[in-house]
């Protein structure tokens, strides 16, 4: 049963548009799927390979801008950005990896954080190339209905899920986990840590880039402050995985559901609308103190906390 | 070089130096926390923002001079830091999880809460404390009539700089001449050895976090007469202090001072010669370059020089 659960969930998700939900609910659904894609990407690099990144907005933004620039400069459909982002994001990831992957732990985290900020400022300042703060607007919407957007992001999500699952089940995945657990030990066993960390970074970056390219086409407007946002992209990517469960397959999905629904719920309460970061922050603090491995990772602990689990006799 | 160009260059260097002095103070706060606790406090800028708002409130309610509000802001921030360390960070240090970076992510959460609470209380408007001496400056030509070039020295900037130097001096005295300061340095050098020598390491951690917060709170008060405030100002200063810490070498106070000055000068030069908007890029270029070429920071350079002799 458990083995087939992902397929059942996928089948269920495929038929959801037949319910003819209103467009707000579809929007939330699309956001949930998009965030689970970003979460899976972050999880691959940080959860499995142990390289905690604070700068996934960099890859998201590069993906988004690839799409936007193809539309704005070459005049072709922004959807070409999805395949094109593979090349562009990989190149960026290689450069970023070359600089950052020689660092470890918190240093890597902060180097990636600063890369995200550097990219934002560069895009803001290169007005002739990127349009600067004005951003890029996609004038023709591909579809009015959200159904096709939903299927596209769902396909990306399914692809990412399978990719992550395949990788983690393979030799590569074991290398990643070995690097996370002890980099020196991994190296002494003959694992080329730099190579495998770079592979993890590139894969993670490409998946995030997909989400970025999708975002451009879906929202129809991007600007550097939105797509390179530290708090609204990079940190939320971390939170999605932290809340859901680090180094679990379903963690990012659970986390994405919780984060998106929570964000929308808080925003819809009139008095508390501005306070959503406070709630996120408190949620993050509570999760780290009580469930450091997330809801999925510490499910048993959560049960025990709530008092549902049977006590061991 | 024409006299105008010289003027611009010298003026840039002066403002860079003054800015650097303030940066150094922010950086020291972070570097002692990092030295003792081995964690990166990503809520550092937000703590500074709290200090700035304390100064702002005191100014608008009681017309208290921002420089005097250090006396209020520093103790308040000390207590806040102690509370954060005791009730949030310490419990996490003992929880085991897959990712060891949990403490860093925790401080991000703290920073988010602080910044957002400030937005709720004060709205996201840009605010200022219009102090009477805000635009005063000293001019070189007033002192020396026939000076070939004209330079000015802004009064609030130089007063803030003087305060920063004084506070740094006080801190240096505390760290090198008092028992508690020595215990803190011992904890930073070697946790276990300090424990064996009878240093109450847990207490030192709490005090260090409080001290780091108090320093950055004081820096916030010094920034208030020359800067405007808004709730999200913290993030930018967190990054600045982190760059300084890396540049100076982790946990090295001297390194942080030199790093702060270098960063201030460099930023001021980029702002003048390349463009205002690019100043933050210059900051991070330094950061990345330091990480690649001198990963130990200035402290490692100083040390190798000393050992070489």
Looking at chain A, the whole-number percentage of residues with pLDDT higher than 70 is: 96
In the stretch 180-239 of chain B, residues with CB closer than 8 A to chain A read 235, 239
Q: Which helix (H) or strand (E) holds B138?
A: strand B137-139
What's phi and psi for B296, nearest 5 deg?
-85, -5
Tell me which residue has tokens 């530290």: A230
**A180 and B98: CB-CB below 8 Å?**
yes
Q: Name the closest residue on chain A to residue B39, using Cα atoms.
A: A106
Structure tokens at A35: 């965030």
Report domain extents, chain B.
Answer: 3-29+36-234
Q: Which helix (H) or strand (E) holds A137?
A: strand A136-137
Measured distance CA(A296)–CA(B238) in Å, rounded = 32
pLDDT at A309 over 70: no
Would an 8 Å CB–CB cutoff place B293 in contact with chain A? no
Rank A268-272, B13-17, B271-275 by mean pLDDT and report only the highest.
B13-17
Q: Name the closest residue on chain B to residue A274, using Cα atoms.
A: B120
The interface pTM score, or ipTM, of the predicted complex is 0.80
pLDDT at A171 over 60: yes
DSSP single-letter state for residue B127: B
- Residue A313 is predicted with a pLDDT of 43
pLDDT in tens, A210-269: 999 999 999 888 888 888 888 788 888 988 998 888 888 888 999 999 999 888 888 887
Report domain extents, chain A.
Answer: 2-230
- Measured between beta carbons, the chain A residues lying within 8 angstroms of B40 are 106, 109-110
Q: Which helix (H) or strand (E) holds A222?
A: strand A221-222
- Residue A1 is predicted with a pLDDT of 58
**A238 and B105: CB-CB below 8 Å?**
yes
- Which of B109, B117, B245, B250 should we substitute to test contact with A (largest number of A Cβ atoms within 10 Å)? B109
Structure tokens at B57: 């409130």
pLDDT at B308 over 60: no
Structure tokens at A26: 């579809």
A170 pLDDT tier (thresholds 50, 70, 90): very high
Nearest to A110 among B97, B100, B242 (CB): B242
Tell me which residue has tokens 């989400």: A211
Cα torsion A11, A12, A17, A18: sign: positive
**B288 and A99: CB-CB below 8 Å?**
yes
Average pLDDT over residues B66-89: 90
Would an 8 Å CB–CB cutoff place B2 in contact with chain A? no
pLDDT in tens, B287-300: 878 877 877 777 77
Nearest to A114 among B102, B108, B287 (CB): B287
Measured distance CA(B26)–CA(B283) in Å, rounded = 15
CA-only gyration radius of chain A, Å:
19
pLDDT in tens, A12-61: 888 877 777 788 888 899 999 999 999 999 999 988 988 888 889 999 99
Torsion of CA B277, B282, B287, B293, to 10 degrees: 160
Would an 8 Å CB–CB cutoff place B108 in contact with chain A? yes
Q: Output helix, strand, coil percentages for chain B, rounded to the nearest 5.
A: 75, 5, 20
pLDDT at B309 over 50: no
Are B47 and B81 within 8 A, CB to CB?
yes
A262 or B100, which is more confident: A262
Measured distance CA(A90)–CA(A97) in Å, rounded = 10
């Amino acid at each position: 049963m458990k083995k087939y659960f992902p397929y059942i969930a996928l089948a269920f998700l495929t038929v959801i548009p037949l319910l003819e939900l209103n467009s707000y609910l579809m929007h939330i659904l699309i956001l949930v799927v998009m965030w689970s894609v970003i979460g899976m990407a972050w999880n691959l690099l940080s959860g499995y390979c142990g390289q905690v990144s604070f700068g996934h907005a960099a890859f998201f933004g590069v993906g988004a801008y690839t799409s936007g620039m193809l539309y704005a400069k070459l005049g072709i459909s922004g959807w070409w950005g999805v395949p094109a982002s593979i090349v562009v994001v990989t190149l960026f990831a290689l450069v970023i990896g070359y600089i950052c992957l020689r660092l470890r732990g918190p240093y890597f985290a902060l180097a990636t954080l600063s890369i995200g900020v550097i990219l934002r400022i560069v895009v803001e300042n290169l007005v002739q190339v990127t349009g600067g703060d004005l951003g890029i607007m996609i004038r023709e919407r591909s579809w009015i209905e959200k159904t096709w957007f939903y299927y596209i992001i769902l396909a990306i999500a399914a692809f990412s899920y399978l990719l992550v699952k395949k990788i983690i089940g393979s030799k590569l995945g074991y290398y990643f986990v070995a690097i996370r657990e002890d980099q020196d030990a991994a190296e002494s066993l003959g694992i080329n840590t730099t190579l495998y960390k770079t592979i993890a970074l590139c894969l993670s970056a490409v998946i995030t880039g997909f989400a970025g390219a999708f975002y451009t086409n879906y929202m129809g407007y991007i600007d550097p402050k939105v797509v390179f946002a530290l708090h609204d992209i990079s940190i939320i990517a971390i939170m999605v995985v932290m809340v859901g469960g680090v180094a679990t397959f379903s963690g990012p999905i659970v986390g994405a559901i919780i984060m998106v629904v929570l964000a929308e719920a808080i925003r819809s309460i009139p008095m508390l609308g501005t306070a959503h970061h406070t709630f996120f922050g408190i949620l993050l603090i509570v999760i780290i103190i009580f469930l450091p491995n997330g809801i999925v990772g510490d499910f048993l602990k959560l049960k025990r906390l709530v008092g549902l689990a049977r006590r061991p006799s | 070089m024409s006299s105008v160009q010289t003027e611009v260059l010298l003026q840039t260097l002066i403002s860079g130096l003054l800015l650097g002095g303030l940066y150094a103070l922010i950086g020291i706060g972070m570097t002692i926390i990092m030295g003792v606790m081995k964690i990166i406090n990503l809520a550092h800028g937000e703590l500074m923002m709290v200090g700035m708002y304390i100064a702002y409130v005191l100014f608008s309610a009681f017309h208290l001079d921002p420089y005097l509000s250090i006396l209020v802001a520093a103790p308040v921030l000390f207590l806040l830091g102690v509370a954060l360390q005791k009730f949030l960070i310490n419990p996490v240090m003992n929880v085991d999880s897959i990712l060891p970076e949990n403490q860093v992510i925790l401080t991000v959460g703290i920073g988010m809460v602080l910044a957002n609470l400030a937005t709720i209380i004060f709205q996201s408007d840009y605010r200022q404390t219009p102090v009477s001496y805000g635009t005063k400056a000293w001019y070189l030509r007033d002192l020396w009539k026939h000076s070939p070039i004209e330079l000015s020295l802004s009064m609030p900037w130089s007063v803030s700089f003087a305060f920063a130097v004084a506070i740094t001096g006080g801190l240096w005295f505390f760290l090198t001449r008092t028992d508690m300061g020595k215990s803190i340095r011992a904890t930073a050098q070697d946790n276990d050895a300090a424990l064996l020598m009878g240093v109450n390491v847990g207490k030192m951690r709490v005090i260090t976090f409080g001290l780091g917060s108090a320093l950055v709170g004081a820096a916030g008060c010094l920034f208030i007469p020359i800067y405007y405030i808004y709730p999200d100002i913290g993030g930018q200063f967190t990054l600045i202090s982190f760059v300084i810490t890396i540049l100076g070498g982790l946990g090295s106070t001297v390194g942080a001072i030199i790093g702060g000055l270098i960063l201030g000068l460099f930023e001021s030069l980029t702002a003048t010669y390349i463009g205002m908007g690019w100043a933050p890029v210059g900051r991070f270029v330094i950061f990345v370059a330091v990480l690649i070429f001198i990963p130990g920071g200035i402290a490692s350079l100083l040390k190798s020089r000393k050992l070489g002799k």
